[in-house]
Structure 1
Amino acid sequence: MAGDGTCALLGLNDPAPFGLFNAAGASPFLLIGDHAGATIPAALGDLGLSAADRRRHIAIDIGVHELGHRLAERLDAAFLYQTYSRLVIDCNRDPVRDDAIPAVSDGSRINGNEALDATARAARVAAIHAPYHRAISDMIAARCASGRDTILLSLHSFTPVMDGIARPWDVGVLHWRGRTDFAHAMLATLRDDGVLAVGDNVPYAMDTTDFTVPFHAFARDLSYAEIEVRQDLIGDSQGQNIWADHLRCAAEAALLRISE
């Protein structure tokens, strides 16, 4: 972590590579936010990006930090989230992939990510990616050891328009392999609302591109769901509260469905 001398990338004034809210939450849900933060280590400057780019969806899942805290309160769940920008290293990618540290994202060049050597890449993995995933693994293991069930609920957000194409869904539920029971129940529960536009594996489909849910949920046979909320719906406090209520109701109803 920052300041402990183990990772040269992070300095004394840099924050830890993950945050943990409501660690003692009693519900079976473990909320995670791979792209909840926008911090860049001081040693990397601004990665060559403008302030505007550092606020865009390329750098952070807009609204997820606040949504995760509000949902954690409503569910009495722990929320473990990434502090650093996905442009420093994307914690929902296998670190060996080129796009784990992208040089271009949605038309913006990230000059600070160009032509990185193996040592520079390894420093970001060691300082940020590895501690984040170790924290998730440790929390799941501790819950398992104490006989607690865990449903992994991964929170993301998506931009309303990509490559000039509008994305009309309010929310998407992503799933792939393993224990998909909760994801399908969550999908059905959100659709029961009758008003929301709910996507099944849209605007993204979970596949080999994803790292966090496959890595942590599949091997341990955990129920899970990856939730994508459209960013304009959670860009302010009012929207974050509305969607925390939507997701609380849906998660609790989905849990009842898979328990029957």
Structure 2
Amino acid sequence: MSSPPPALHILAPDEPPAFEVVNPEGPSSAVLLCDHASNAVPRSLPELALQEEALREHTGWDIGAALLSRRLSALLDAPLVLSGYSRLVIDCNRPLGAPSSIPEVSCGVPIPGNTIDAAEARARADACFWPYHNAITALLDARRDRRQRTAILSVHSFTPSMPGQDRPWHAAVLYGRDRRLAAPFIELLRREPGLCVGDNEPYHVSAGGDYGIPVHGEARGLPCVLLEIRQDGLLSAEGVEAWAQRLAAIYREIEARGLAGGA
């Protein structure tokens, strides 16, 4: 078991911050979140950084999600908050303490750099998890104080296959207790010729397995949805642009129906 680095030393002063906020004053009713935007690892965690293949793959981040989020932010003129470090450092869309928060095994791949004690887990949360979520909280609080209509769109990507399962869905619309955004997204995506759209599959949102939608969306009473795009649709600039244009057009139609935001 590795000895825990001090919390202040997880990220060195010259390393990138744990989050990035894009267009914080954007007037759109949409607020975009990208929980798995990066596959970066702090220098203080060299054993984790050695797992180069895992970091390149879905075990390390959501491939294409950051590019898609940034383009959606530009098309909708919407605020966007992106995580700054790999989900293997700490997963920003998992409750702290859940086995998948700092996974010792991810997608069947052992992650020996994550055999850590509670002190290092707290240090990673203080360095990478809480700054990201505190930035989202501050953004949402400011919009609430301005009485600005707000809906949460959490942008992710998923692998075309898992062991024993090929995934036919080109996109998936995930939700928990609140289907206000999910229902029209599913309806409008399924109008697109040739698209196979998952309704809460291959994943679903739950308070025990997710953080962003339950905490930033449902707990505030805001319409919220988690959008998953299959990664092979995001491997080129053309693919990213096509999905960004499609999702932006759908969100504008949902907005026009008056379904896209709460105060």
Q: TM-score range by the shorter chain?
A: over 0.9
- Equivalence map 1:6-155=2 (5 Å): 7-47=8-48, 49-114=50-115, 116-155=116-155
CA displacement at 1:13 relative to structure 2: 2.1
**Match of 1:218, SS?**
helix
Shift of the 195–14 alpha-carbon distance from structure 1 to 2, 3 Å rule, reads: same
Q: Does 1:199 align with 2:198?
A: yes
- Equivalence map 1:206-245=2 (5 Å): 206-207=205-206, 208-245=208-245
Deviations 1:203-243 (A, max 9, x none): 11112311111011111100011000000100121110010
CA displacement at 1:257 relative to structure 2: 2.8
**Match of 1:92, SS?**
coil
**CA distance in 1: counterparts of 2:223 and 2:10, whole angstroms:** 35
Match of 1:243, as an amino acid? W
C-alpha contact 2:29 2:150 (8 A) present in aligned 1: yes
Shift of the 9–199 alpha-carbon distance from structure 1 to 2, 3 Å rule, reads: same
**Match of 2:213, SS?**
helix
Structure 2: runs of 5+ lacking an equivalent:
1-5
Q: TM-score, normalised by structure 2?
A: 0.92
**What's 1:187 paired with?**
186
Q: TM-score, normalised by structure 1?
A: 0.94
Sequence identity (%) = 38
**CA distance in 1: counterparts of 2:131 and 2:186, whole angstroms:** 31
- Equivalence map 1:173-184=2 (5 Å): 173-178=173-178, 180-184=179-183
C-alpha contact 2:24 2:139 (8 A) present in aligned 1: no
Match of 1:153, as an amino acid? L
**CA distance in 2: counterparts of 1:249 and 1:203, whole angstroms:** 24
C-alpha contact 1:68 1:79 (8 A) present in aligned 2: yes
**CA distance in 1: counterparts of 2:102 and 2:190, whole angstroms:** 35
Deviations 1:175-225 (A, max 9, x none): 1114x2112111111112232111100111112311111011111100011
C-alpha contact 1:10 1:127 (8 A) present in aligned 2: yes
Structure 1: runs of 5+ lacking an equivalent:
none
Segments ≥4 residues shifted beyond 3 Å: none
**CA distance in 1: counterparts of 2:142 and 2:8, whole angstroms:** 25
Shift of the 259–86 alpha-carbon distance from structure 1 to 2, 3 Å rule, reads: closer
**Match of 1:213, SS?**
helix
Match of 1:24, as an amino acid? E
**CA distance in 2: counterparts of 1:48 and 1:37, whole angstroms:** 13
Give the length in aligned residue pairs: 254
CA displacement at 1:139 relative to structure 2: 0.4
CA displacement at 1:85 relative to structure 2: 0.2
**What's 2:3 paired with?**
none
Match of 1:144, as an amino acid? R
Match of 1:146, as an amino acid? R
